[in-house]
Amino acid sequence: MSTESGSEIRPRRPDPGHDAPPFDPQHSGAVYRALLEGMLDPVVFIDPQGIILGASDSTVRVFGYTPEELRGTNISRLMTEPYRGEHDGYLRHYFETGKTKILGRLREFQVVRKDGEVIDIELSVNRIDLPGHEEPLFIGSFRDSTDRNRARLAESSMLRALAAVGESAAMLAHEIKNPITAVNLALRAVARELGEDQQDVLQDLVARMKRLEQQLRQTLSFVRPLELSPMLLDARTVFDGVVRSLAPISKRARVEIQIDVDAEAPTFRADLSRLEEALVNLTMNAIEMLEPGGHVRLAAGAESNGRLQLIARTVEGRTVELSVEDDGPGIAAGVRESLFKPYVTTKAQGTGLGLAICRRIVEEHGGSLEAGDSAALGGARFTIRLPAEATP
């Protein structure tokens, strides 16, 4: 605040060495007015007949009415039908029976603004019994929830539209996949009856049809709704399943897979087959990026030139962290932004759906999947974070 001369007047801080003066009841009116002026959400006081006795200044912003315009009128003027016509009956029923469905609860209603617009609000009402007064007062607190509800409806509509698109895509992919599989088998049968030159051409066609079949299979997996069957798991069990699944591939590639599980890593709930699917995909990607020359340590017990780690850690006691790290070339900065987008791939024969499916699986479990650099091995690091099982 400034004076007319332009000098600034700074508010004085209370002296911590002195006790604050006791509250003076004579100042209660000023405090009451200050509270009504400072409230962000509208607050309205009514008597047992539903007549508005007072309101906060914020009614102007939300309802379009000033407190003076509301004072002395029935609260039902803010209501939509049928509540407008029935509200007085609700009050009579409460005083006759003592039963209520609104006092002390948060309810969702609609309010009619001064300009006729209907808005969504959250309403809480409480009874106030004043000393020396026979009749109680009722205080209602309103919060405008229109924008939030609109956003929720828009999101719900978008999700329904996406679900419909997904179902259509799944049906289309299924219808295409069956004839492609039949053509693929027919080409292989014909190739066996032809000469060497003709076989090369047909084998190339077979390989292309196989890639197309794989693309459709992954598209089906991506667009179909995920049906999860969560169970209580520990990281060691999940990692052991991943290593078993990839043992032949990692052995051929001579890549060592190491497992490192924190002794205090918590258990967690997840669909075992879906989580293994995600981890196998991430681990397979890492194997493909490593140079040959290593072999599986857990199976053969020998050294290798390529290393890959499956690591489980606890994060702040509430999250379990599962990561796949390698000592390969890492992730190029230019592809990180689009790494998890569908149909984006850096592989010559890739479908571009593997990482997108992985992230979807993890997020359906309420977790997250991120890509980064491995500080320990120098290559890539993919980290899955999942909610840990609550400890008793």
* Distance separating alpha carbons of residues 306 and 127, to the nearest angstrom: 72
pLDDT of the residue at 195: 60
Are 117 and 62 contacting, i.e. CB atoms less than 8 angstroms apart?
no
pLDDT of the residue at 75: 93
Are 382 and 278 contacting, i.e. CB atoms less than 8 angstroms apart?
no
Q: How many CB atoms lie within 10 A of CB 31?
A: 12
Q: What are phi and psi of 243, to 5 degrees?
A: -65, -40
Domain 27-144 bears CATH identifier 3.40.50.720: no
Q: What is the pLDDT along the chain (392 residues), one digit of tens a residue?
A: 444 444 444 444 444 444 544 444 455 677 778 888 888 899 999 999 999 999 999 999 999 999 999 999 999 999 988 888 888 888 888 888 888 888 888 888 889 999 999 888 889 999 988 888 888 999 999 998 887 777 777 766 665 655 665 665 666 665 666 666 666 666 666 666 666 666 666 666 666 666 666 666 666 666 566 778 889 988 888 888 888 888 888 888 888 788 887 777 778 889 998 899 899 888 888 888 776 543 222 222 223 345 455 655 555 557 788 888 888 778 877 777 777 777 666 665 556 677 888 888 898 888 888 888 877 777 888 888 888 775 54
Cis bond leading into 82, ω under 30°? yes
Q: What is the pTM of this model?
A: 0.46
Query: Burial code of 283-308, b = ≥16 C-beta within 10 A, e = fewer?
Result: bbbbbebbeeebbbbeeeeeebebbb
Please give the CATH topology (third level) of the domain spanning 231-387: Heat Shock Protein 90 (3.30.565)
Give the CB-side neighbour count of residue 231, counting CA atoms within 13 A.
12
pLDDT of the residue at 105: 84
Are 309 and 377 contacting, i.e. CB atoms less than 8 angstroms apart?
yes
Residues contacting 391, CB < 8 A, separation 6+: 266
Q: What are phi and psi of 310, to 5 degrees?
A: -110, 120
pLDDT of the residue at 297: 25
Q: In angstroms, how far is the first alpha carbon of the chain from the final one?
A: 55
Q: What are phi and psi of 256, to 5 degrees?
A: -85, 135
Task: For tokens 């029923």, name the residue.
Answer: 93
* Distance separating alpha carbons of residues 218 and 377, to the nearest angstrom: 31
Task: Please give the structure tokens belonging to residue 130.
Answer: 């004043």
Cis bond leading into 21, ω under 30°? no
* Distance separating alpha carbons of residues 258 and 324, to the nearest angstrom: 10
Are 258 and 309 contacting, i.e. CB atoms less than 8 angstroms apart?
yes
Task: Please give the structure tokens belonging to residue 62.
Answer: 């939300």
Indicate the Cα dihedral angle 28, 33, 37, 41, nearest 10°. Answer: 70
Rg from Cα positions in the chain: 34
Give 213: exposed, middle or buried? Use CB within 10 Å, 0-12, 13-18, 19+.
Answer: middle
* Identity of the amino acid at 145: S
Q: How many CB atoms lie within 10 A of CB 157?
A: 10
* Distance separating alpha carbons of residues 256 and 250, to the nearest angstrom: 7
* Distance separating alpha carbons of residues 39 and 317, to the nearest angstrom: 39
Query: Domain locations in the chain?
Result: 27-144, 150-223, 231-387
pLDDT of the residue at 62: 92
pLDDT of the residue at 142: 92
* Distance separating alpha carbons of residues 182 and 213, to the nearest angstrom: 11
Are 323 and 377 contacting, i.e. CB atoms less than 8 angstroms apart?
no
